[in-house]
Amino acid sequence: MLKGRHLIDPMDFSIEELDEVFDLAGKIILNPENYTEVCKGRLLATLFYEPSTRTRFSFEAAMLRLGGQVIGFSEPGSSSVAKGESVADTIKTVACYADIAVMRHPKEGAPKVASMFSEIPVINAGDGGHQHPTQTLTDLLTIRTIKGRISNLTIGFCGDLKFGRTVHSLIKALSRYENIKIVLISPSELKVPEYITNEILIKNGIQFEEAERIEDVIEKLDILYMTRVQKERFFNEDDYVRLKDRFILDKEKMELASKDMIVLHPLPRVNEISYEIDDDPRACYFKQAKFGMFVRMALIAKLLGVK
């Protein structure tokens, strides 16, 4: 039963509960016209304590497409937060007006605190470098829809695997599915944190390998999940210049991949995926953004318990 629940951590839902959300998302994708009024009369509050156009638009579009309405703020300067209101007081007040709330906050754990004081469902839309569960739901729905399964897959993660919270969350979520193989492609400075290797991969018996070049491993991948390598993560510019091209996906590298492999990216992209492959049918990152809206529609409907 998902009605009235919060989504703070991607692991808050069981695999069965995730399937419930994905099943509904699948129905919405097939017949969106059947869902245009299911949230009529319901209000979503978007509490964005830091700017995020993409995620906020995705949530707002989701609610509007379900026939509901949206209130909220997109930066704390224009709200009571600027006067020093606590997260607890904000959510208690918002719960008097809205039926469900979405929160993005620079402090880690803020949406968790909000959920503890809230009488309405709270969805974490990103808290610092900690969690971004609806991105994980987006990634899982994209994989399930395009590949037809979330098991028996070899998934390569490429780029900044050290600081990328979407990568950490997705690896955690995938660890619950059967026969998942992980390939980690990153410069040694940006390898996944030890707790991911020790606590998630090794502990769950997930087969994994590490690589330093996309072309060495791309052939065996079912999915290549790209992330941005940020210049500021490097200790010096020489290292950045030396390594950055190695983690750029281009036409030449795509030629080595299987015809069924798909490329995903949480977006925004900077230069890590060459524009020349956008027309390749295997480039699925914009489809992924669309699935993000559908999964948020399904999530809102489930948490509100609407038919």
Dihedral over Cα of 35, 37, 40, 43: its sign? positive
Q: How far is the CB of 166 from other proteins (least distance, A)?
A: 16
Identity of the residue, 9 or 189, whose beta carbon is nearer to other proteins in the bound complex? 9
Instruction: Figure out which of the listed residues 5, 112, 228, 296 binds other proteins, where binding follows CB under 8 A.
Output: 112
Site for other proteins in 63-92 (CB under 8 A): 86-88
Instruction: Figure out which of the listed residues 6, 65, 105, 302 binds other proteins, where binding follows CB under 8 A.
Output: 105
x-or-dash pattern for other proteins, window 144-183, by CB under 8 A?
----------------------------------------
Asked if 5 is part of the footprint of other proteins (rule: CB under 8 A), the reply reads no
Identity of the residue, 195 or 275, whose beta carbon is nearer to other proteins in the bound complex? 195
Residue with tokens 């395009």: 146
| Token duo for residue 287 | 């489809």
Q: Are 89 and 66 in contact (CB under 8 A)?
A: no
Q: How far is the CB of 167 from other proteins (least distance, A)?
A: 16
Instruction: Figure out which of the listed residues 3, 40, 54, 107 binds other proteins, where binding follows CB under 8 A.
Output: 107
Identity of the residue, 124 or 227, whose beta carbon is nearer to other proteins in the bound complex? 124
Identity of the residue, 130 or 302, whose beta carbon is nearer to other proteins in the bound complex? 130
Q: Are strands 262-264 and 207-211 parallel, antiparallel or unpaired?
A: unpaired
Q: How far is the CB of 112 from other proteins (least distance, A)?
A: 5
Asked if 110 is part of the footprint of other proteins (rule: CB under 8 A), the reply reads yes
Q: How far is the CB of 15 from other proteins (least distance, A)?
A: 21
Task: Give 154's contacts (C-beta < 8 A, 6+ positions apart).
Answer: 181, 182, 183, 220, 221, 222, 223
* CA 85/CA 82 separation, integer angstroms: 7
Q: How far is the CB of 95 from other proteins (least distance, A)?
A: 17
CA dihedral of 250, 170, 269, 164, whole degrees rounded to 10:
-110
Burial 150-162 (b: 16+ CB within 10 A, else e): beebbbbbbbbbb
Beta bridge partners of 185: 158, 211
Q: How far is the CB of 266 from other proteins (least distance, A)?
A: 20
* CA 127/CA 116 separation, integer angstroms: 15
Q: Report DSSP letters for 121-184, one per residue.
A: -EEEEEETTTB-HHHHHHHHHHHHHHHS-SSSEEEEEES-TTT-HHHHHHHHHHTTSSSEEEEE
Site for other proteins in 116-145 (CB under 8 A): 127-130
Q: How far is the CB of 146 from other proteins (least distance, A)?
A: 30
Q: Specify the 3-state DSSP secondary structure of 267.
A: coil
Q: How far is the CB of 228 from other proteins (least distance, A)?
A: 20
Identity of the residue, 32 or 106, whose beta carbon is nearer to other proteins in the bound complex? 106
x-or-dash pattern for other proteins, window 190-229, by CB under 8 A?
-----x----------------------------------
Binding residues for other proteins, rule: CB under 8 A, are 86-88, 105-110, 112-113, 127-130, 195
